[in-house]
Structure 1
Amino acid sequence: MKKIKLSKILHRGQDQIAVNFGYDDEIRKHLRLLDQIKWSQTQKVFYLPYSTENKRTIYNHLRQKDWFIDYSALTDQDADPTIAKNKKNTHKHVPPKFEDDLARFRRWMQQKRLSDNTVNTYAEVTAFYIRYILAKNLNMFSSKSIERFNYDFIVRSKKSISYQNQCINGIKKYFEFHNKNLEDYDIQRPRKPKKLPLVLDFEEIKKLLQVTENLKHKTFLSLMYSAGLRVGEALALKVVDIDFERGLVHIKGGKGKKDRYSLLSKKFAMLLRDYMDAYKPQDYLFVGQGAPQYSAVSMRQVLKRNLRKAGIRKPATLHTLRHSFATHLLENGTDLRYIQELLGHNSPKTTMIYTHVSTGSLRRIKNPFDEL
């Protein structure tokens, strides 16, 4: 497996994220797909400005490949002096015995047909767990070990609840791989806060698409909104998945490996035909530079730029377009069961969240303050 190390350096008087790896043409070409990546002739590394957003951007970009990414140098270890003291041991590559074990664990998850992202995430958090256990000289399979890892590595480092649950899920799979049942260890999961999804209104969607001048970018963002797709689903679409005659988009192997159909707007179909005439895609609908598929990282950057151009201050993401699609359908009177099918939700409870976001009914309520 190719190994890449991310670290913090001072270059030209500014903090930068350095990307360190042995000479590898494939990694070099993949990095060049990022707009903000630069090469330092003096330090002989690729780098980009140091920020929380860029840490996430470079990590997600590299995670598209099946590579090992060591970003331990970018994490804050000061909160836990015991981790700082054992930093070298905690973050070095696991011994060969465990490298083989992790490789078998990865193949086992792949045989269970877990998605590539899930396999990479679970293998990564398990590697962190193994390194921690070895550094602390703890029993690999005990509730005490998991609780200490949970507190030292996650809680003290102030990592998110979502990341904490990902770690527990990954360790749970690793225990299952070794025929251990994590439920027997009574590990408590943190409760996720029930946050309402962010939504752009009709005018904001309209402004966003108006300022997006690049035909490919406009088509992609329009598709995300008009069909309510997840980012991965939009990127995985192929030319044959568009049914112009029936006005449908065929989503294959969506979340939970489920197929479904969504809407192909008549107005969007005209834009899509213009795009296909101009770019002539043969397999995947959206092709990247030197890659069979377009990059999610690139599209996030496109959205960010165009939100700024449109004067939209909301911290919207590509997934916000899917939330907006569902909310606007509900406000237009579409039955919740149809919205559930279009979004590919397993449970109507998931779709019900949009009833809390929709403002159609709220606007009809007479505020008692108006009677004063």
Structure 2
Amino acid sequence: MKIQVFPLAFEGRRRIGIKPLGYDRAFPGMMKQIKGSRWTPDVHCWHIPYETEAYDQLKRLFGEGQVWPVAERPVKEQKKAENQDKEQGPLQYRDELIRLEERLRLQRYSYNTVKTYKNFFAQFLAFFPDQHPEKLEKKDIMKFLLESSKDKKWSEATQNQAVNAIKFYFEKVLGQERTYYEFRPRRSQKLPGVFSEEEVLRLFGAISNLKHKAILMLIYSAGLRIGESTQLRKQDVDINRKMVFIKAGKGKKDRYSVLSDKLISLLQRYFTVYTPEYWLFEGQDGGKYSTRSIQQIFRKAVDKAGVNPYSTVHTLRHSFATHLLERGTDLRYIQELLGHSSSETTQIYTHITQKARQKLCSPLDF
């Protein structure tokens, strides 16, 4: 989580003002960890004492690389913004982009969803630079989607995200009637890849670093999404109950999942060695661990273990569900542990269980 800091005068005293760059549900709780922190509605920001001790605690909590003076903008972020501007071109109707963002934040959409919708809607606006979006019709949306998906080689999922962003603007921002978009792409029915139980053991055996092993083992043990693992706080792990609490997972749903005895033993050693303060897994600079770092850990372990090179971190989650199903766990419990809204999503694991397929035989053998 990136934050901006700036000097602030409050009640005749110098303070350090703090604002997050983007929404993060954990921000208020983290600020409360800092001694002397206050939220003031009048200035619409959190602030802390203008002292070295408080500022050092702030950097430890969020990570030194995540704390930016208000006038500072990292070169990497600046280049990224410039590239996006080049791709999107001049936007005559930027106010509509702001309206979209405000509505998304009002409805408490996640930071990643806000960023994704803004990106696609900005491309949509740039595609029709001389037309107000309120005047655009279905045929215009169709033209944008067809040309963009062809030129940029969008996948089915990417095209659906673009449709969702545009649909949100017309229905939620402009208040138009809900519309069925018949030009949504048909999603391919791909079966998720899974590891065998032996491959999972080989994967974990290839990791020597205690923190790295704890991260990947937790993802498999509890069936977590990679983003959920980075959002875990130290307090979310309940060793006595052998449970982990996932707060506001996908779809803003809270849930509990299970911890294995083997993982609990590993986590206890991890707590002793690394002593995390707020986040369960902290980066080198003190902020929460990044998804990119987890992906790199996983890739190195896959290469060293010699398991499926096309697997991803999400393969551990698929393997968690498949292995539970193979050992007789009821599908309804697996649905709850994974946080699926619909049982149809969980049903896909019935198609990939190796042990179930091995019991089947062709009618030719009857």
Which residue matches 1:318?
A: 313
Asked if 1 retains the 8 angstrom alpha-carbon contact of 2:206 and 2:304, the reply is: yes
| 1:11-37: CA deviation from partner (whole Å, max 9, x where unpaired) | xxxxxxxxxxxxx85535x78xxxxxx
Q: Distance in 2 between matches of 1:124 and 1:25?
A: 23
Asked if 2 retains the 8 angstrom alpha-carbon contact of 1:133 and 1:140, the reply is: no
Which residue matches 1:164?
A: 159
Aligned AA (1:231): I
Which residue matches 2:175?
A: 179
Q: Residue 336 of structure 1 is aligned with which of 290, 310, 331?
A: 331
Q: Distance in 1 between matches of 2:272 and 2:226?
A: 23
Q: Distance in 2 between matches of 1:171 and 1:277?
A: 49
Q: Distance in 1 between matches of 2:101 and 2:82?
A: 15
CA drift of 1:366 comes to 3.8
CA drift of 1:368 comes to 7.0
- When normalised by structure 1's length, the TM-score is 0.74
1:70 matched to 2:89 = no
Map 1:73-112 → 2, pairs under 5 A: 91-95=88-92, 98-112=93-107
Map 1:1-372 → 2, pairs under 5 A: 27-28=74-75, 68=81, 70-71=83-84, 91-95=88-92, 98-134=93-129, 140-176=135-171, 177-181=173-177, 183=179, 186-366=181-361
Deviating 4+ runs (over 4 angstroms): 135-140, 367-371
CA drift of 1:246 comes to 0.8
Equivalent pairs: percent with the same residue? 41
| 1:327-370: CA deviation from partner (whole Å, max 9, x where unpaired) | 00000111111111111111111111000011111112245788
Q: Distance in 2 between matches of 1:138 and 1:226?
A: 47
Corresponding residue SS for 2:129: helix
**What is the count of residue pairs matched by the alignment?**
297
| 1:213-242: CA deviation from partner (whole Å, max 9, x where unpaired) | 111111000000000001111111111111
Give the direction of change, closer, same or farther, for the CA distance of 1:69–1:355 in structure 2 (3 Å limit): farther
Aligned AA (1:209): F
Q: Distance in 2 between matches of 1:269 and 1:316?
A: 26
CA drift of 1:71 comes to 5.0
Asked if 2 retains the 8 angstrom alpha-carbon contact of 1:228 and 1:323, the reply is: yes
| 1:163-205: CA deviation from partner (whole Å, max 9, x where unpaired) | 1000000001111212233616x44211100110010111111
Give the direction of change, closer, same or farther, for the CA distance of 1:284–1:201 in structure 2 (3 Å limit): same
| 1:71-124: CA deviation from partner (whole Å, max 9, x where unpaired) | 58xxxxxxxxxxxxxxx7x732313xx223212220111000111111111111
Aligned AA (1:283): Y
Q: CA RMSD in A?
A: 2.7
Asked if 1 retains the 8 angstrom alpha-carbon contact of 2:303 and 2:309, the reply is: no
Q: Distance in 2 between matches of 1:242 and 1:234?
A: 11
Corresponding residue SS for 1:107: helix
Give the direction of change, closer, same or farther, for the CA distance of 1:213–1:135 in structure 2 (3 Å limit): farther
Corresponding residue SS for 1:134: coil
Aligned AA (2:176): K
Asked if 2 retains the 8 angstrom alpha-carbon contact of 1:133 and 1:139, the reply is: no
Task: Determine which structure has greater relative contact order: mean sequence separation of CA pairs < 8 Å that are 6+ residues apart, divided by chain length.
Answer: 2
Give the direction of change, closer, same or farther, for the CA distance of 1:133–1:212 in structure 2 (3 Å limit): same
Q: Distance in 2 between matches of 1:120 and 1:69?
A: 16
Aligned AA (2:91): V
Give unmatched runs, 5+ long, in structure 2.
5-70
Corresponding residue SS for 2:113: helix
Q: Distance in 2 between matches of 1:290 and 1:345?
A: 34
Aligned AA (1:179): G
| 1:112-169: CA deviation from partner (whole Å, max 9, x where unpaired) | 0111111111111000000001168998421121011011111343211101000000
Q: Distance in 2 between matches of 1:187 and 1:180?
A: 17
CA drift of 1:69 comes to 6.7
Give the direction of change, closer, same or farther, for the CA distance of 1:275–1:25 in structure 2 (3 Å limit): farther
